[in-house]
């Protein structure tokens, strides 16, 4: 069975984890900071805070930004629900900005139009780098400067991606950027996430919210410590800590991140060629962006295919290949429909959902397996 995504674990990865298992610290030890430093240096950001998963990273980023009741966060409807849920966890409201019909990322044109006409403007905008392709961050940053909102990049798909010659995650055009290290992501820690920022104030608040709102930093305490055992809870935080075991795996994986991305880019280029004669639309790449290709989404031309998407999924699985779909528009989920969102308000997202199919793409996928995927897809579609 060929799955849509799969981790790549080397013997070096295993040995790094074993070292931690034999050490004094399984959690809250030095490997966490080493991993954070490695990711921050790779992306070109000043600070990084590792947490238990990508959703936790989104959550504490909202908390660090001060998002709360009465505030509103705008994000893309084509994303995993966590990109919106993070605002709801803080008591804030959510609204959506329709996608660009070519990149499937947040449309800057729609964002600008919505900002001009909105009675209630956002405190935070969360562009989602779908499939590992950066949004048009320069233009979003310019709008943030004009309209006074914070920007948090949902870069959970985009480790290793480039935008305007710099790594996604450098936070040149945002206040924070969030990564996920789930097993199907480009770099994995099993489960895990991270927030990057260049803002020291945000960094200190991220550290607080990661671990119960507790600090041992004397500079942050309300009075002098009672002794070496002393700590203070300054905020209502959470237990979102990453373990040293996970961080060891992530640190080791980061040694191969460029290798992972290079192979994914090679596979994406091969798909572009191999799919040329099939009734599918291959991805469009924004000028200035170099995707890291966490996933590979095509859009099926159902005017030329006399089968439903359910049939395509079923028949491909019967041939040993699992497809997926990224994503169901968030505003159509029952929870958000109950909040009063109009399904038809985001037409580009709805059209995308009618046609989108995610093909298998991962570091260990061979050329032969990829050719078989396309061959089987041709059989099914025609």
Does residue 292 sit in the same domain as residue 188?
no
84 and 178 assigned to the same domain: yes
Cα separation, 128 vs 314, whole angstroms: 29
Does 245 lie in the same domain as 293?
no
Q: What is the pLDDT of residue 343?
A: 87
Q: What is the pTM of this model?
A: 0.97
Q: How far apart are CA 61 and CA 152, in angstroms?
A: 8
Question: Does 204 share its domain with 312?
Answer: no
Same structural domain for residues 220 and 308? no
CATH classification at residue 182: 3.40.640.10
Q: How far apart are CA 313 and CA 299, in angstroms?
A: 14
Residues 246 and 376 in one domain: no
- Asked if 301 and 237 sit in the same domain, the reply is no
Contact 277, 370 (CB under 8 A): no
Residue 360 is part of which domain span? 257-381
Task: Note the pLDDT tens digit of each residue in 287-305.
Answer: 999 999 999 999 999 999 9
Give me the catalytic one of 167, 185, 255, 338.
Answer: 185
- Using the 3D structure, point to which of 254, 278, 298 is the last residue of a domain: 254
Residue 123 lies in a domain: yes
Together in a domain, 212 and 335 = no
Q: What is the pLDDT of residue 382?
A: 87
Calculate what percentage of the chain has a pLDDT beyond 90.
98
pLDDT tens, 27-83?
999 999 999 999 999 999 999 999 999 999 999 999 999 999 999 999 999 999 999
225 with 286, same domain?
Answer: no
What is the separation of C-alpha 293 from the centre of its chain, rounded to a whole number of angstroms? 12
Q: Are residues 230 and 321 in the same domain?
A: no
Q: What is the pLDDT of residues 355-382, one digit of tens each?
A: 999 999 999 999 999 999 999 999 999 8
Query: Whole-angstrom Cα distance, residue 125 to residue 110?
Result: 13
* 185 assigned to active site: yes
Domain boundary (200, 234, 254) is at 254
Residue 4 lies in a domain: no
Domain closes at, from 210, 230, 254? 254
Q: What is the signed CA dihedral for 221, 223, 226, 231, rounded to 10 degrees?
A: -20
**What's the confidence (pLDDT) of residue 342?**
87
pLDDT at 188: 98
What pLDDT, in 10s, does the model give residues 165-205? 999 999 999 999 999 999 999 999 999 999 999 999 999 99
Domain match, 226 and 269 both: no
| pLDDT score recorded for residue 298 | 98
For the chain, give the mean pLDDT.
97
pLDDT tens per residue across span 91-126: 999 999 999 999 999 999 999 999 999 999 999 999
């Amino acid at each position: 069975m060929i799955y849509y995504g799969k981790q790549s674990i080397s013997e070096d990865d295993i040995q790094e984890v074993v070292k931690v298992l034999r050490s004094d610290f399984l959690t809250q030890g030095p490997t966490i900071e080493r991993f954070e430093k490695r990711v921050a240096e790779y992306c070109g950001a000043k600070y990084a805070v590792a947490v238990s998963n990508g959703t936790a990273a989104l959550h504490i980023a909202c908390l660090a930004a001060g998002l709360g009741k009465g505030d509103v966060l705008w994000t893309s409807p084509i994303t995993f629900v966590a990109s919106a849920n993070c605002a709801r966890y803080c008591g804030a409201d959510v609204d959506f900005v329709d996608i660009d019909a070519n990149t499937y990322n947040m449309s800057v044109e729609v964002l600008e139009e919505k900002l001009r006409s909105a009675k209630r403007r956002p405190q935070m905008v969360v562009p989602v780098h779908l499939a590992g392709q950066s949004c048009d961050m320069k233009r979003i940053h310019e709008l943030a400067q004009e309209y006074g909102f914070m920007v948090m990049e949902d870069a959970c798909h985009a480790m290793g991606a480039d935008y305007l010659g710099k790594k996604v995650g450098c936070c040149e055009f945002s206040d924070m950027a969030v990564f996920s290290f789930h097993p199907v992501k480009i770099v994995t820690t099993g489960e895990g996430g991270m927030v990057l920022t260049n803002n020291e104030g945000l960094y200190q608040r991220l550290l607080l919210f990661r671990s119960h709102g507790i600090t041992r930093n004397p500079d942050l305490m309300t009075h002098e410590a009672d002794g070496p055992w002393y700590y203070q809870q300054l905020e209502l935080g959470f237990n979102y800590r990453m373990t040293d075991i996970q961080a060891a795996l992530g640190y080791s994986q980061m040694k191969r991140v460029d290798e992972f991305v290079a192979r994914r880019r090679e596979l994406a280029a091969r798909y572009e060629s191999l799919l040329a004669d099939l009734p599918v639309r291959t991805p469009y790449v924004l000028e200035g962006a170099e995707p890291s290709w966490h996933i590979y989404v095509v859009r099926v031309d159902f005017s030329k295919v006399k089968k439903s998407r359910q049939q395509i999924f079923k028949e491909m699985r019967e041939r040993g290949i699992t497809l997926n779909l990224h994503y169901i528009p968030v505003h159509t989920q029952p929870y958000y429909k109950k909040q009063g969102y109009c399904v038809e308000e985001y037409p580009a997202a709805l059209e995308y959902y009618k046609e989108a199919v995610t093909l298998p793409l991962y570091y260990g996928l061979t050329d032969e397996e990829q050719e078989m995927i396309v061959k089987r897809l041709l059989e099914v579609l025609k």
